[in-house]
Homo-oligomer: A and B are copies of this chain.
């Protein structure tokens, strides 16, 4: 159970310095921290910490009228995680903007896991999602949410993709970034070579893919590769691996990458018997 709530009346109180102006600061970079926003993500953070996934809360900051509503979640954090409480005026002055959710937690980023170690830890039957050039935090978060919904065992992001531990990505993922194991940082070619070497059948998703996603055959290990909104996957990847498309009306623009990844994961998870 987390400690009793500590009242904060001064936005410059050094104890809550970590929460100051969180919207503007690049916490995930140099500072090595991440922000969990809202009740749903706070609950996931408590579970992820308890589950030994390396995501540990450093401090929690609540709007005074939210304390009672999250009492059961606070009980899931270790006793040494301080819980700070503030009035709306003080809370907004700390955060630097009006945060109607009134629920924030600051965590320390765990050590990154290398793609090779992540691959080595995968079960013999695996479904993984690979993102190349996913620079949009909303899309990155949405893709993790889909990965969780369809039981993907891990997400791999290449070196040109954004950090999914960015505040907004975690929020859009409804906390899935803290649940689905991931690794980020290799060049795409190296990442895909590692997966191919580990027996993964690699399928690139593209509007010009060879087969409809419903025709992707079941396999012991499948990696679905998605590219950035707009540009899609680089030609070097499309020509090195098999490709699949989502059947759709010819039109102005393809599906959003998050929706496309959801449909493709759904079809592959059905084929692999992971959902029914």
Contact = CB atoms under 8 A, between A and B. Distances in A.
Nearest to A142: B256
Given A262-B262, A262-B263, A252 B43 contact: yes
Nearest to A274: B249
A87 interface: no
Interface of A: 40, 43-44, 142, 145-146, 148-151, 174-176, 179, 212, 214, 246-249, 251-256, 258-259, 262-263, 266, 269-270, 274-276
Number of copies of chain A assembled together: 2
Contacts of A176: 252
A247 to B, nearest CB: 4
Contacts of A269: 247
Contact of A175 (B146, B248, B252): B252
Contacts of A249: 148-151, 274-275
B253 A40 contact: yes
Nearest to A276: B247
Contacts of A248: 149-151, 266, 275
Contact of A252 (B44, B142, B212): B44
B251 A148 contact: yes
Contacts of A43: 252
Nearest to A249: B151
Contacts of A212: 276
A23 B248 CA distance: 33
Nearest to A260: B262
12 contacts: A44-B252, A142-B259, A145-B256, A151-B249, A174-B252, A179-B252, A247-B270, A248-B266, A249-B274, A256-B258, A259-B259, A263-B263
Contacts of A142: 256, 259
B148 A252 contact: yes
A164 to B, nearest CB: 16
B40 A146 contact: no
Contacts of A252: 40, 43-44, 148, 174-176, 179
A262 B267 CA distance: 13
A214 B270 CA distance: 10
